[in-house]
Chains A and B, each alone.
Chain A
Amino acid sequence: MIRDPIREGLAAGWKVTDAAALDRDLALDADVAIVGTGAGGGVTAEILAAAGLEVVLIEEGALRSSSDFRMLEAEAYPQLYQESAARKTLDKAITILQGRCVGGSTTVNWTSSFRTPEATLAYWRDRFGLADVSPAALAPWFERMEERLAIRDWTVPPNENNALLARGAAKLGIATGAIRRNVSGCWNIGYCGLGCPTNAKQSMLVTTIPAALARGARLVCGARADRLVLGRGRAAHLECSALDPRGVRPAGPRVRVRARHYVLAAGAIGTPALLLRSGAPDPHRTLGRRTFLHPTVISAALMPERVDGYAGAPQTIYSDHFLERAPVDGPIGFKLEAPPIHPVLFGMTHQGFGVAHAEGMAKFARTHVLIALLRDGFHPGSEGGNVGLRPDGSPVLAYPLTPFLWDGVRRALAAMAEIQFAAGATSVLPVHEQARPSATWAEARAAIDALPLEPLLTRMVSAHVMGGCGMADSPARGAVDSLGRHFQLENVSVHDGSVFPTSLGANPQLSIYALTARNATRLAGRLKAGR
């Protein structure tokens, strides 16, 4: 029997309110209201609660835990993901995977843990005046969060999907590395993306949030933060709607939180949207701008033997070879990884329909999948997207796909195909509506050169939303300072991936953890000193 720390904590008397069960309005007071319970909200909650501050956490999604995590896509996507994992950019060209549950994306991510690349930090210092984000200055915060979340080398042999990346790259002289993971006692099952059923993944759900709740923090889940009510350069209170049990529509009751300080950690789409709905001052038009995605393209190969990409830890091998070939502000580079392969996600992503699609699916167990994550945001040809609001107040990201990005897409599809053939693939299929399987590298290269790269023809995904409330040394270049403090609202801070001024060129969770640990510690100091 696997222990469920959430159910134990609830039984022990944690202060948790499921807003779907409210039959009247709820008013709360706290030192700090935190919107969102993912990487930023979780770390902030633990640090502030440990400092003796009264904390209220507001989460739009539901509280689910290991007892609920049955490793079924049919359950996980509607229960744990934004928009049932069907969130897309405005033009529907990029599918966006984001968590929507207690623990946020950390509950459903694939455990990949990278420190912020040095080239990225150097760019932030040079272009955004962020003098205090050097690797040396951040090292103690990385160390602290690596220790807290058991981020270590993963010494179990990679699953076949990842081993093929290592073998194919090695044949071509392309360097690969092992991905560190935030796991403790991992069973190597491969269902991280559907909620860890064994609590091995050290997500916010099983680490910082239980720690904060054990210290008396209050969690309200199933409540959507509608807006901050602002006045005189401050937030006066936070207005939220209790959602119906399915989490689709407001059920009627309102939740109002009055706090000394407000920390926004709703993710890089949710946080800018909340500020937009609040009518936050935006004198330099930075809010919701420069939103980055690591736009990701996919290559599916057929291997002679079973790959079973659903089994075993996902994403344990990576290559930064194609990030390092050019300067960070040169032609766009990309990171290569090997994702988990599950029937729904693969079936939805695979191009075509009918017999051709079914034939592709029939080879599911022998399919090898690589993804290339494009490092956006470092070049005038890649200024990212804009978060806006629909008439109903829900957020939508417009993300233009530029010729600069398409150049990287073409090189990425070719690089993945070459590696897959080197690893022994009998055919390779770029995930694109007009692509057909190629039997040789030469044939694939010619086919990829000829592919029309356009939105909706090229299947694209993103699991990394960054930016939109970028940090900078001045309000002209960003929405918050390097400590996450909003430039115009004195008691509002942003602690999530929306503060990144560019994309990272690496999976973001550890960057959010470390930066948030630093900024939440400083915030606790200011609040304790009465400032």
Chain B
Amino acid sequence: MVSRRKFLRFGVAGALMLAAATRAQPDYRAADGSGTLQVLGEADREVLAAITPAILAGTGATGASLAAAIGSVDRAVAGLPPHLQEEVRQLLALLASSPGRRWVAGIVAPWRDASVAEVSAFLERWRFSRWALLQQGYHALHDLVLAAWYARPDSWTAIGYPGPPEVG
């Protein structure tokens, strides 16, 4: 039985190694077949497709609106300064890698098979991790997904926000 502390220590070492490793990888911005993402790749989409339903659980977001929210995340990342784009790419590359998913996020099954409960448990571990790096990773995912969601007019009805008034 690996203690929580040991697991996390390995986790951070793994995160740093993988962060270094992903730097050396070629840019995977090449055509991903979908033609809709600007800066994120197919592997990133798969990670976000698993994480987004957990972060947006309870909002009523389903199917098309979740896919649209992922598109909004991609567009938001494309507008970030290069250093922040790089941080997001490293984070998603880490999560997309098999060791990163398994040993840092603690998700055994591939992302497409991970349940909302498993993903939520991973987010909760990172949220309250004693390692700032993992807490920062949680905050990045939190902010990216929730900003993308509440920027969308289709999220406003559920929260009683009427949208901006008419002027002009």
Contact B76 A78 (CB under 8 A): yes
Q: What 0/1 pattern do residues 344 to 378 of A give for CB contact below 8 A with B?
A: 10111010111111110110110000000000000
Number of interface residues of B (CB under 8 A): 43
Contact A347 B139 (CB under 8 A): no
Indicate whether B160 reaches chain A with its CB closer than 8 angstroms: yes
CA A396 to CA B31, docked complex, whole Å: 33
Return chain A residues, CB-CB under 8 Å to B76: 78, 84
Q: What 0/1 pattern do residues 152 to 167 of B give for CB contact below 8 A with A?
A: 1001101111001101
Contact B58 A365 (CB under 8 A): no
CB distance from B162 to the nearest CB of A (A): 9
Q: A84-B76, A248-B80, A392-B82 are in contact. Are A189 and B159 (CB under 8 A)?
A: no
Indicate whether A187 reaches chain B with its CB closer than 8 angstroms: yes
CA A390 to CA B81, docked complex, whole Å: 12
Indicate whether B147 reaches chain A with its CB closer than 8 angstroms: yes
CA A423 to CA B132, docked complex, whole Å: 37
CB interface residues, B 52-100, toward A, < 8 Å: 54-59, 72, 76, 78-85
Contact B132 A198 (CB under 8 A): no
CB distance from A11 to the nearest CB of B (A): 19
Q: A92-B139, A191-B164, A365-B159 are in contact. Are A392 and B83 (CB under 8 A)?
A: yes
Contact B168 A353 (CB under 8 A): no
Return chain B residues, CB-CB under 8 Å to A131: none
Indicate whether A249 reaches chain B with its CB closer than 8 angstroms: yes
Indicate whether A384 reaches chain B with its CB closer than 8 angstroms: no
Q: A74-B151, A248-B82, A362-B158 are in contact. Are A2 and B167 (CB under 8 A)?
A: yes
Indicate whether A508 reaches chain B with its CB closer than 8 angstroms: no
Q: A248-B81, A343-B161, A364-B160 are in contact. Are A354 and B55 (CB under 8 A)?
A: yes
Main secondary structure of the interface of B (DSSP, over half): helix
Contact B136 A456 (CB under 8 A): yes
Contact B143 A86 (CB under 8 A): yes
Give the contacting residue for B143; candidates A1, A189, A348, A362; CB below 8 A: A348
Indicate whether A476 reaches chain B with its CB closer than 8 angstroms: no
CA A306 to CA B136, docked complex, whole Å: 34
Indicate whether B127 reaches chain A with its CB closer than 8 angstroms: yes
Query: Can you name the residue of chain B whose Cβ is closest to the Cβ of A433?
Result: B127
Contact B82 A343 (CB under 8 A): no
Return chain A residues, CB-CB under 8 Å to B147: 77, 344, 347-348
Query: Can you name the residue of chain A whose Cβ is closest to the Cβ of B87?
Result: A92
CB distance from A480 to the nearest CB of B (A): 28
Indicate whether A474 reaches chain B with its CB closer than 8 angstroms: no
Contact B139 A83 (CB under 8 A): no
CA A399 to CA B123, docked complex, whole Å: 26
Contact A189 B167 (CB under 8 A): yes
CB distance from A160 to the nearest CB of B (A): 14
Return chain B residues, CB-CB under 8 Å to A354: 54-58, 120, 123
CB interface residues, A 83-110, toward B, < 8 Å: 83-84, 86, 91-92
Return chain A residues, CB-CB under 8 Å to B139: 92, 456
Contact A248 B58 (CB under 8 A): no
Return chain B residues, CB-CB under 8 Å to A357: 55, 58, 146
Q: A187-B167, A347-B150 are in contact. Are A310 and B161 (CB under 8 A)?
A: yes
Indicate whether B142 reaches chain A with its CB closer than 8 angstroms: yes
Main secondary structure of the interface of A (DSSP, over half): loop
Query: Can you name the residue of chain A whose Cβ is closest to the Cβ of B149?
Result: A347
Indicate whether A246 reaches chain B with its CB closer than 8 angstroms: yes
CA A361 to CA B157, docked complex, whole Å: 11
CB distance from A271 to the nearest CB of B (A): 18
Indicate whether A402 reaches chain B with its CB closer than 8 angstroms: no
Give the contacting residue for B164; candidates A70, A78, A344, A390; CB below 8 A: A70
Return chain A residues, CB-CB under 8 Å to B136: 91-92, 456
Return chain B residues, CB-CB under 8 Å to A73: 150-151
Give the contacting residue for A455; candidates B79, B127, B132; CB below 8 A: B132
Return chain B residues, CB-CB under 8 Å to A433: 127-128
CB distance from B62 to the nearest CB of A (A): 13
Give the contacting residue for B79; candidates A246, A343, A394; CB below 8 A: A246
Return chain B residues, CB-CB under 8 Å to A362: 158-160
CB distance from A459 to the nearest CB of B (A): 9
Return chain A residues, CB-CB under 8 Å to B22: none
Return chain B residues, CB-CB under 8 Å to A361: 59, 150, 158-159
Contact B55 A364 (CB under 8 A): no
Q: What 0/1 pattern do residues 1 to 17 of A give for CB contact below 8 A with B?
A: 11000000000000000
CB interface residues, A 230-258, toward B, < 8 Å: 246, 248-249
Return chain A residues, CB-CB under 8 Å to B142: 348, 353
CB distance from B51 to the nearest CB of A (A): 9
Contact B79 A78 (CB under 8 A): yes
Q: What 0/1 pattern do residues 104 to 135 of B give for CB contact below 8 A with A?
A: 00000000000000001001000110001001
Contact A91 B81 (CB under 8 A): no
Contact B56 A358 (CB under 8 A): yes
Return chain B residues, CB-CB under 8 Å to A359: 58
Return chain B residues, CB-CB under 8 Å to A78: 76, 79
Q: A348-B146, A353-B146, A358-B57 are in contact. Are A84 and B159 (CB under 8 A)?
A: no
Return chain B residues, CB-CB under 8 Å to A306: 160
Contact B128 A394 (CB under 8 A): no
Indicate whether A158 reaches chain B with its CB closer than 8 angstroms: no
Known: A343-B150, A355-B58. 11 other contacts (CB 8 A): A71-B167, A74-B72, A74-B152, A92-B136, A189-B167, A197-B168, A348-B146, A348-B150, A353-B57, A354-B54, A361-B59
21 contacts between A and B (CB under 8 A): A70-B164, A71-B164, A71-B165, A74-B72, A77-B147, A78-B76, A83-B80, A191-B164, A248-B81, A343-B151, A343-B156, A347-B147, A348-B142, A350-B146, A354-B120, A355-B58, A357-B58, A362-B159, A392-B82, A394-B83, A434-B128
